[in-house]
A and B are shown apart, each in its own frame.
Chain A
Amino acid sequence: MLVRPLLLAAVVVTQLVTPVAAGRVEVRVADDRGDPLEDAVVFLAGGTPPPGRSGLRAVMSQRDREFVPRVLPILAGTAVSFPDHDDVRHHVYSFSPAHKFELATGRRQPDAPIVFDTPGVVVLGCSIHDWMLGYVYVLTTPQFTKTGADGRARIDGVPAGPWRARVWHPRLRGAESATTQAVAVPASGTVSAVFTIALTREWRLPRPFIGRSERAP
């Protein structure tokens, strides 16, 4: 179920971009200890955003008192909806400069989707549940993906040519630009890249033990 919105986003992207000659970029991201790193956003900088992006949609759910997905990479201009699947209400907010917003507590009807135009990190919190932490990563390039639990990801349909691949992660230590790797995408076939990044400490507050098992996934 974690994969579903991602697939949705991927489908949207592939529908929009129809390259003549396209290759595949496969990446593997590990932390500085060599462990596979999940939820790392890998993108190819300098891609041209497709025109007419009004139809872009993405979903950041609240399920079992967590943001799902934890990291949501989107193309700027995407409208993100925040459906609440729990039996409690959440109070989602962001004080990130990229997009400050607040979804008031006690909402019954689904709010109108929020359109994220400014590239950058939007850190999502919930004032009801301090441990809830989600990220919306707003990109200007359509060539992006997100690693799974095995630390692997791939980008399909990349026009052949030299690209700069980059990685962003919520705990990335140092500047994002420092992760840049040059990749030569072939007309057809696959190019691989391996990223090893240093991590900062995790700021996520511990989740209280109570109220977790009521709604098992």
Chain B
Amino acid sequence: MPSFRFRSFRLRIVVLFLALLVLVEGIAFLVVDAAHRQAAWTQIDDELLVASRVFNRLISARIDQLSGAARLLSGDFAFKSAYAMTDGDTVLSALQNQQARIRADVMVLVSTARRVVADTLHPRLRDALFPFVNLIQEAEDNGQAISIVFVDRRPYQVVVVPLLAPLPVAWIVMGFLIDDTLAHELQRLTHVHVTFVTVDPPGAPTPFASTLPPALRAPLAAALPRSLGASPLTFPLSVGGRELVSHFAGLGRAEDVGVAAILQSPVDEAFAPVYRLRIRLAALFVSSLLVSFVVGARIARSVSRPVETLVQGVHEIERGHYAHRVVVAQPDELGELAAAVNHMAVQIAEREEALLLSEEQLRQAQKMEAIGRLAGGIAHDFNNLLTVITGHNELLRAELGPEAAGVRAHVDAVETTVDRAVTLVRQLLAFSRKQVLQPRVLDLNEIVTNISTMLRRLIGEDIDLVMAVGAGLWPVKVDPGQFEQVIVNLAVNARDAMPGGGPVAPAHRQRGALRGRRAPGRRLSRARRAPRGDRHRRGDERGGPRPPLRAVLHDQGARAGHRARAVHGLRDPEAARGGHRR
């Protein structure tokens, strides 16, 4: 299917076009996507880093706030005097009052002897040994202590400051609970998930407060690396099917248990804009691909359409429709190609016509040859008969006495008539090329004169034969029979050309000079190629066949088929030479 092939040609262009586009767009997509992903990761990291800084600042601000409040209390004269002058109940209510004022979660007053004076978490507890003596010791050494403690299994961030009067007379322990509320509060400010874990080196980190939904806490505990502090501070974590980039922020130690905060940023949230962008990019690419397809198809059609037309035209020519013309009105190579195809079609048509013509001529020639042979056969037999007639006529003449003068006249007439018949037969034989060509040096005038009788008979009564004998002609070497045939042919042609009658005047004269004297061997072929204007030249000493004459005959034959029929034997030197072929 030629049309399919061309459609596929067009398709090839479009596909190539699109493949290139897909390649470029694909690379662009990958590069841009990778950059976006990288940016998203960087963003997560940055976000976590900032969040961890904010977190640490918030925690320390909270501790500062706590210790500031504690210091304020430590300088509160009323509180000092309440402690110095009154009982534990009064101190407890003063602590509760203060705790409510600064929104702390626990307040404990510890004596310099490490005894609990009052404890807001355990109001009834009095004079018991304060459990976190190290904290008091640290506060004694450093002026204050900051730590995380577990009270009733709940973690508190606490500060310890002295109650100064103006020397330390007791220790104020003040703390806030580390719980989900705190985590959520921190999340509001840091925009990341906050989870507090205990880091117990032999065991797994255990979350105790988090902004994560409760369902995710157990998976988180399972997913957390065992050695949390040793791993890189930022690490990805898959928790319950969610990818969380996690950041480890150490908080401190509660006695022998480490407490840390895990800050987590969900990857999907950070990647949401990346995915949105990815979809937009993909949409852009697809639409540009569609546009490119349409544009590419149009371009391909503009290229393939003239090619299709050309190929169609070539196929028409192939089928023999030489009249078909390829119409590609383009001033480019394709247009030139179309013109060339059209020209080729014209030439093929001409050649084919010429070929047909020559085939026709060949057939005619063959027919003529057959007729010639038949005529030759008949002439041969007829010649035998004439010989018999001549013989008998001679016998008759011999038997005639002198008295039979009347009869003798008849015998003479028979003899004359038979002679003429013999001449005719000879001519027939020559015509049928039974004779072997025997070129001789002749006088053309003589030959023409000899056959004038036969010519008259051939051309009939309506045509006047005017014999115009040329003077001063050079002798010509030619087979007389053949030459006679030429003359006969010309005369017959002339007769055929003049159905209404008229004069026929065979004339012959000497014209011009022969060219190509330096290449005598190729004279004939040269003459053939340049049939017009060949002439004899005085001083041309060579004999042999006269190309100009043959060329003229040939030329005539080539131009007019019906004449060529008569001179066919002359046109083919091989056929002429092989007169005795059969």
With A95-B80, A95-B81, A127-B77 known as contacts, the answer to whether A203 contacts B169 (CB < 8 A) is no
Contact yes or no, A203 B162, CB < 8 A: yes
CB of A133 within 8 Å of the partner chain: yes
Chain A's nearest CB lies how many Å from the CB of B110? 16
Contact yes or no, B168 A203, CB < 8 A: yes
Q: Which B residues lie within 8 Å of A91 (CB)?
A: 77
CB of A27 within 8 Å of the partner chain: no
A123 touches which of B141, B162, B165 (Cβ 8 Å): B165
Q: Which B residues lie within 8 Å of A170 (CB)?
A: 167
Residues 134 to 157 of chain B near chain A (Cβ within 8 Å): 140-143
CB of B84 within 8 Å of the partner chain: yes
Q: Which B residues lie within 8 Å of A123 (CB)?
A: 165-167
Q: Which A residues lie within 8 Å of B143 (CB)?
A: 201, 203
Question: How many pairs, one residue from A and one from B, have CB atoms within 8 Å of each other in the complex?
Answer: 45
CB of B395 within 8 Å of the partner chain: no
Contact yes or no, B168 A125, CB < 8 A: no
Contact yes or no, B167 A201, CB < 8 A: no
Contact yes or no, A130 B84, CB < 8 A: no
Chain B's nearest CB lies how many Å from the CB of A130? 5
Q: Which A residues lie within 8 Å of B162 (CB)?
A: 203
A95 touches which of B75, B140, B141, B169 (Cβ 8 Å): B169
A174-216: CB near B (< 8 Å → 1, else 0) gives 0000000000000000000000000011011100000000000
Q: Which B residues lie within 8 Å of A200 (CB)?
A: 140
CB of B85 within 8 Å of the partner chain: yes
Q: Which A residues lie within 8 Å of B80 (CB)?
A: 95
B166 touches which of A100, A102, A205 (Cβ 8 Å): A205
Q: Which A residues lie within 8 Å of B328 (CB)?
A: none
Q: How large is the interface on A (under 10, 10 to 19, 20 to 34, 35 or more residues)?
A: 20 to 34
Q: Which B residues lie within 8 Å of A130 (CB)?
A: 75, 164, 166
A203 touches which of B77, B81, B85, B164 (Cβ 8 Å): B164
Residues 124 to 138 of chain A near chain B (Cβ within 8 Å): 124-127, 130-133
With A95-B84, A100-B85, A127-B77 known as contacts, the answer to whether A205 contacts B169 (CB < 8 A) is no
Chain B's nearest CB lies how many Å from the CB of A102? 8
B47-84: CB near A (< 8 Å → 1, else 0) gives 00000000000000000000000000001010011011
Give Cα A38 to B165, complex, Å: 22
B543-567: CB near A (< 8 Å → 1, else 0) gives 0000000000000000000000000
Give Cα A91 to B169, complex, Å: 18
Closest to A128 in B: B77
Contact yes or no, A133 B77, CB < 8 A: no
Closest to A102 in B: B81
With A93-B77, A127-B77, A130-B75 known as contacts, the answer to whether A205 contacts B84 (CB < 8 A) is no
Chain B's nearest CB lies how many Å from the CB of A135? 9
Chain B's nearest CB lies how many Å from the CB of A128? 9
A95-136: CB near B (< 8 Å → 1, else 0) gives 100001010000000000000000000011111001111000
A132 touches which of B81, B166, B169 (Cβ 8 Å): B166
With A95-B81, A100-B85 known as contacts, the answer to whether A205 contacts B164 (CB < 8 A) is yes
Residues 166 to 180 of chain B near chain A (Cβ within 8 Å): 166-169
Give Cα A83 to B55, complex, Å: 52
10 tightest Cβ-Cβ pairs between the two chains A and B: A125-B166, A95-B84, A127-B77, A95-B165, A133-B166, A203-B167, A123-B167, A130-B75, A125-B165, A95-B169
A positions within 8 Å CB-CB of B: 91, 93, 95, 100, 102, 123-127, 130-133, 170, 200-201, 203-205
**17 more CB-based (< 8 A) A-B contacts, given A170-B167, A203-B164, A203-B168:** A93-B81, A95-B80, A95-B81, A95-B84, A95-B165, A100-B84, A100-B85, A102-B81, A123-B167, A124-B166, A130-B75, A132-B166, A201-B140, A201-B143, A203-B143, A203-B166, A205-B166
